[in-house]
Amino acid sequence: MSFAWAPMTDPLLVAALGARENAFAPFSKFKVGAAIEGLDGRIHTGCNVENATYGLTMCAERVAVYKAVSEGARRFKRVAVAAESDNLTPPCGACRQILWEFCGDVEIVLVNPRGKIETFRLKDLFPRPFDVSYL
């Protein structure tokens, strides 16, 4: 893990922060944006979309992964997650599982609008993932 304060010049972080603005979070008021960078350099974004039943709510990270896959992307190098919190917000357990299955041990960058950044490898956030090797 590394920690820094930086101006927002990285296109992946700018995209995640921008996607956060599109979040639909009328219940929690907790807006999250995500951006995933493919090996080809394309960036795909997602935001959290809440639902009154809560169980049908979709996290920003999964929206970004599904959107990338639906647009033909299959290999990824980085994921950024943006939220308005001093204690930077990592992906939830369900998102960690999806990220592992589609991205493997990808770099995860957490960011807030004030430029606080932390970087991890997914294996550090998700040390014993379940994947196809167990099937």
Q: Evaluate the CA torsion angle 112, 113, 114, 120 in order and state its sign.
A: positive
Do 13 and 76 contact (CB within 8 A), yes or no?
A: no
Q: Is 37 considered catalytic here?
A: no
The DSSP result for 43-105, as a single string, is EEEEE-B--TTSTT-B-HHHHHHHHHHHTT---EEEEEEEES-SS-----HHHHHHHHHHHSS
Q: Which of 66, 100, 96 is nearest to 81 (CA)?
A: 96
Q: Which among 21, 61, 84, 101 is annotated as catalytic? A: 61
Residues with active-site annotation: 61
